[in-house]
Amino acid sequence: MRRIGDAFDTVTAFFGAAVAGVTLFLPITFSSIRDSTPYQISSLINSVPRGAAIGVIVAVAVAVVVGTTARPAVAWVAASFGSVAQLINHIAGRHVSSADMLTTQNYVDSVCAGILLGALGVAVLRKPLPAAGFAIGGVGFFVFSDLAEFLDIDEDPFAVLETPPSWLIGLAMTLLIISTLRNRSSTGEPEPPRMSIELPVAPILAAMVLALVILAVTEWLHRQFTDAPAIDHAVDIGLTAAATVFAATAAAMLLPGRDGCAVYLAVSLTAAADAFGYAVRPGWSVWPLLALTAIGMFAGARRPSVALAIALLTGITVFAIRTPPDSNWVLFSAGSAILALTAGYCCSTARPRYAPSGVLAITALYLPTVITALPDDSKSWQLPDPAAHDSTPGRAALAIVLGSAVGIAVLHHFRPRGGPQPTGSAANAALADA
């Protein structure tokens, strides 16, 4: 019965993390967007990276607060609350939403997704199977690309009623409520009374530094391209990449032990995936690519190697540098498969021991990158002219991956394995090797 319960929690963790990931990755939309002005639509699009940054900070803060209780039941209740609140936000938006309200509702959606991710992470990262489900759901948006086919988003982006759709939120909410009832009597190991001032704030500070710095520098780079599109921005791109590595380093040093390695891998994976490019994949391809993600995760659990993870990420960025955007479908499919395997392998290789560190690593995947701030025509995989291929996204991603590799080496030097680890609830929140 316990295995059946863990399997059910695994499914719940997958759908919960997937819904939250879609929420942070795509703007909330309703039919009223058809009547929006260009300014209102621009405000909605600009709110997506800001909402993701808010979601990262909220998720880690919730993980820290809920984790101090050492009671899994509290985490499940909080995750269910976040899902219920998100569904209410979507129901209200469908009936009373106006174009002016879309941006505000997108921020509310991001806060709900942050609550869901943070609490769910604390609830499931203690057990191997649910932890794997949470990780696969969290990294899945790399595999789905923009979810166009899977969520029935046609070439007309206004044809979709809402993202994520209410049926997907409702499914996740139902599973979360059932898992909450199943785990309502769960308790962690007893711990001695502690003063309230012992609430660990370092992970929250790490989330704030990482999210706010990356958001600020990517928005700055986007403004540089907007204000002067015809000039070379190589220096600006280099500064943004360096600031990204700096933010990851600051966050990594604030986390206990070697947990910061997960942050380095997260920002590198995001940059590599963005540099690889976007193309609409058929809806059926979601499931094979998810299976490849799970295979990569299994391989990482059996043979973890940070060096191999960096090598795989480097290979993806070199592929992005050398491959023109008109490459054939077979080559793109092979690259997608390698990306899925790499995403799963990085998840298992990171192995953060403190639950909020794992939550930060997963949510960091949704932050913008230097590549997302570049003009879209350099990443489309649909340009007809091979001469139009721009290697800038790949080179920027390669700089982030190599900078992260140096940061990981320094982190491993100053944080030897077997050093001091978090105590109390932090120890109870240790992640499973999955």
pLDDT tens profile 74-89: 999 999 999 999 999 9
Residue 319 in domain: yes
Residue 252 in domain: yes
What is the rounded distance in angstroms from the CA atom of residue 263 to the CA atom of residue 248? 6
Q: Quote the domain boundaries for residue 136.
A: 2-189+198-428
**DSSP-assigned letter for residue 34:** G
Write the CATH number for 206: 1.20.1250
- Six token digits for residue 58: 């909220």
Report which residue type is found at 170: G
Q: Torsions phi, psi of 385, nearest 5?
A: -100, 120
CA-based end-to-end distance of the chain: 21
pLDDT band for position 28 (50/70/90)?
confident
By mean pLDDT, which of 115-119, 180-184, 379-383 is the weakest? 379-383
- On whether the CB atoms of residues 403 and 310 are closer than 8 A, the answer is no
Residue 219 in domain: yes
Q: What pLDDT digit, counting tens, does each position of 33-84 carry?
A: 555 666 666 677 778 899 999 999 999 999 999 988 878 899 999 999 999 9
Report which residue type is found at 387: A
SS3 for 27? coil
Instruction: Round the average pLDDT of the chain to a whole number and report it.
Output: 82
What does each C-alpha distance from 122 to 150, 154, 267, 339, 372 come to in angstroms? 29, 36, 22, 27, 30
Task: Average the pLDDT over 252-257 and give the result.
Answer: 93
Provide the pLDDT for residue 110.
Answer: 94
- Six token digits for residue 387: 């001469």
Residue 26 in domain: yes
Task: Average the pLDDT over 406-415 and give the result.
Answer: 92
- On whether the CB atoms of residues 403 and 306 are closer than 8 A, the answer is no
What does each C-alpha distance from 121 to 13, 35, 66, 194, 397 come to in angstroms? 8, 38, 10, 23, 28
Residue 277 in domain: yes
pLDDT above 90 coverage of the chain, percent: 51
Cis upstream peptide for 386 (omega within 30°): no
pLDDT band for position 425 (50/70/90)?
very low
Residue 418 in domain: yes
CA 329 to chain centre: 26
Residue 433 in domain: no
Q: Whats the size of the chain, residue-wise?
A: 434
Residue 145 in domain: yes
Q: What pLDDT digit, counting tens, does each position of 91-111 carry?
A: 887 776 566 677 888 899 999
What is the rounded distance in angstroms from the CA atom of residue 404 to the CA atom of residue 395? 14
Q: Quick check: pTM over 0.75?
A: yes
**Above 50 in pLDDT, residue 202?**
yes
pLDDT band for position 6 (50/70/90)?
confident
Q: How many domains does the chain have?
A: 1
